[in-house]
Amino acid sequence: MKKIISIFIILISLTGCGEYQRALNGDDVGKKYEAAVALYEEAQEKGRSNKGKYRKALRLLEQVVPQYRGKPQGEKLSFIYANTYFELGDFSLSGYEFDRFSTSYPRSERAEEAAYKSAKSYYYDSPRYTLDQTSTNQAIQKLQTYINRYPSGEYLDEANELAKELREKLEEKAFEIAKLYYNQGDLFISGYSNYQAAVSAFDNFIVDYPGTPYREKAYYYKFDAQYKYAIGSYELLMADRLKEAKEYFKTLKKYYPEGELTADAEESMTDINERLQQLEK
């Protein structure tokens, strides 16, 4: 009995494969349409794990979507075409196709879902913070557009969380760039010290990300970069640069009087005061 059942299943499978191949290789656009939609809906019922049916549906969709643009079936096909890429994890193409759907069918009942999935496609395409963040900026823009357009939208809470996560990634990258200047402070580029670049970068970082958890570190590294820049200067320039470092220390001390890095800064301040006394003599 088990053998009979197995043979029956294989025969059904082969029949299904044969019908799919005939639709794929044939010239009947209507059959391609029906097969593509059937495969897509079956894959939707079984979940994202059934990628085989999504891939089969995609091969058919690639053939029929252009044939139905501007026709009544075009809206449905355009959405499932974009969503098939999304389900397969091809987020560059799903983002593009959802954008195209939104432009072509702005009043569609699935317009909100398309706008959100477009933004989420860019979110998934965002690389780790050490790499170029063009996709991250695009994702934030798309998510913000969705949030503004659908203030009571179905996906609003998730969109806000995703946007927050991406902003934190940009924040981390900005901090690490400033830290890189600091770590390479002894280098000079076109006569400009990397410590100077670090001071400017940390200054911009503090302005751009006022609520950042890296705020204390940013104030400390800004002070320390100026201190190290000053003590490496010519004697004629050292006093003014040390005095500027003292001002940065005052700001650090004001906001973080008992901060984890304040003690290290105070040790540097002892050296700064001693150097200033010697220079004044």
Q: Please report whether residue 207 resides in a domain.
A: yes
Q: Are strands 188-189 and 192-193 parallel, antiparallel or unpaired?
A: antiparallel
CATH code, 200: 1.25.40.10
3-state SS, residue 188: strand
Check if the beta carbon of residue 202 is closer than 8 Å to that of residue 178.
yes
Q: Please report whether residue 166 resides in a domain.
A: no
Write the burial class of residue 230 (CB in 10 Å: 0-12 exposed, 13-18 middle, 19+ buried): buried
Phi first, then psi: give them for residue 47, nearest 5 degrees: 95, 170
Residue 7: pLDDT over 70: no
Q: Which of 201, 195, 194 is nearest to 175 (CA)?
A: 201
Q: Which of 88, 123, 139 is the last residue of a domain?
A: 88
Number of domains in the chain: 2
Return the pLDDT at 281: 78
Return the pLDDT at 190: 56
Q: Please report whether residue 179 resides in a domain.
A: no
Residue range 168-218, pLDDT digits in tens: 999 999 999 999 999 998 877 655 789 999 999 999 999 999 999 999 999
Q: Which of 57, 88, 119 is the last residue of a domain?
A: 88
How many helical (H) and strand (E) elements, i.e. helices and strands, does the chain have? 12, 2
Question: Which residues have a Cβ under 8 Å from the Cβ of 88 and sit 6 or more positions away?
Answer: 51, 54, 55, 58
R_g over Cα of the chain? 30
Q: What residues form DSSP beta bridges with 192? A: 189
* b (16+ CB within 10 A) / e for 64-81: bbeebeeeeebbbbbbbb
Determine the structural domain holding residue 56 and report its residue range.
1-88
Residue range 83-131, pLDDT digits in tens: 999 999 999 999 999 999 999 999 999 999 999 999 999 999 999 888 8
Lowest mean pLDDT among 60-64, 70-74, 191-195: 191-195
Q: Please report whether residue 196 resides in a domain.
A: yes
Return the pLDDT at 189: 65
Tokens of 227: 């201190």
Q: How far apart are CA 273 and CA 281, in angstroms?
A: 13
Residue range 214-229, pLDDT digits in tens: 999 999 999 999 999 9
Question: Which residues have a Cβ under 8 Å from the Cβ of 227 and sit 6 or more positions away?
Answer: 242, 245, 268, 272
Q: Please report whether residue 178 resides in a domain.
A: no
Q: Please report whether residue 106 resides in a domain.
A: no
Return the pLDDT at 249: 97
Residue range 128-163, pLDDT digits in tens: 888 889 999 999 999 999 999 999 999 999 999 999
Q: Which of 88, 105, 127 is the last residue of a domain?
A: 88
Q: Please report whether residue 110 resides in a domain.
A: no
Q: Please report whether residue 79 resides in a domain.
A: yes
Q: Which of 68, 66, 64, 37 is nearest to 53 (CA)?
A: 37
